[in-house]
Amino acid sequence: RRDATRTLKTGDDIATSWFLAVGVFDNATFKLIRWGNGSHHPPLLFDLDADPNEDSDLSSSRPDVVAAMDAMLLGVVDYPAVANDVAAYDYRSLAAWTDQTPNWRDAMAAPDLRWHPVFAPDNATFEKNVAEVERVLASGPAVLPCRAALAWPPEEGGSDS
């Protein structure tokens, strides 16, 4: 295998952006995965030869490989800068939409938008979601960690509040 790097952004959230590098060290092929700007979540490292299903994260036992592969990845893409740029773009897009959409709170519930059903005004969480949009608009662009909760919106007092 040859060394390679890839990036992928899915969804509308920088927390779903990930960057990876594949490289050969000590005659083994490793894969490094980084999320966002790299500051919120530890990297994952897999030995693709010994663990093709990527079941065992080796990042804590092979910091030398993590450092070398991170340098390789940064030599191709400045992923912290990309993540910050995407967060700024997402923020500007939301701000422009709310600025240009009369009654944007009501528009969130329009059936022709691809919002999740939790944004429907008859949903118990609608006001909480409106408050979250307002909080994001007030706080400015930021790269945030992935949510631990698998449901949105997170419960009050939970790890994602």
The pLDDT score that the predictor gives to residue 64 is 96
pLDDT in tens, 62-89: 999 999 999 988 988 888 888 888 888 8
pLDDT in tens, 129-151: 888 889 889 999 888 776 655 55
Give the C-alpha separation, 52 to 94, whole Å. 40
pLDDT band at 10 (very low <50, low <70, confident <90, very high): very low
Q: What is the percent of the chain with per-residue pLDDT over 70, rounded to a whole number?
A: 75
Give the contacts of 115 (CB within 8 A, at least 6 positions apart). 108, 109
* Higher local confidence (pLDDT), 114 or 91: 91
Give the C-alpha separation, 134 to 103, whole Å. 13
